[in-house]
Amino acid sequence: EVQLVESGGGLVQPGGSLRLSCAASGFTFSSYWMHWVRQAPGKGLVWVSRINNDGSRTSYADSVKGRFTISRDNAKNTLYLEMNSLRAEDTAVYYCARDHSGNDEEFDYWGQGTLVIVSS
């Protein structure tokens, strides 16, 4: 069974840092691109970042570029999102999702999300 389990969310002050994790199981993690998508309270889904299967290529939304870093450890089947210089507008539930468009598995599984609150 495919599972994605996010962790690491919490309350952080503006300007602070946080590291999110997404533990994957039930599939060959190293074969998939992975994404982070966020959802501010009461708002819609917004794509944040993506990493290719071996970690050599990354992409970011303009709103987080230079502040967030996506990475992965294929030996540990884990995806990360390092978030620095956090702002109030980064408050959201952060989801990880897998992607293998060649297998028609683009965003077909999502984690349960982890809540990040940026507030003083």
Q: Tell me if 98 sits within 8 A of 32, measured CB to CB.
A: yes
Complex with another protein: residue 75 or 104, whichever CB lies closer: 104
Q: Tell me if 93 sits within 8 A of 118, measured CB to CB.
A: no
7 in contact with another protein (CB under 8 A)? no
106 in contact with another protein (CB under 8 A)? yes
Q: Tell me if 105 sits within 8 A of 99, measured CB to CB.
A: yes
CA distance 12 to 116: 8
| Interface residue with another protein, options 5, 46, 115, 117 (CB under 8 A) | 46
Q: Tell me if 70 sits within 8 A of 80, measured CB to CB.
A: yes
108 in contact with another protein (CB under 8 A)? yes
- Stretch of 12-20, 53-61, 71-79, 83-91 lying at the interface with another protein (CB under 8 A): 53-61
For residue 38 the two structure tokens come to 């966020």
Q: Which residues bind another protein (CB under 8 A)?
A: 35, 44-47, 50, 59-62, 95, 99, 101, 104, 106-108, 110-113
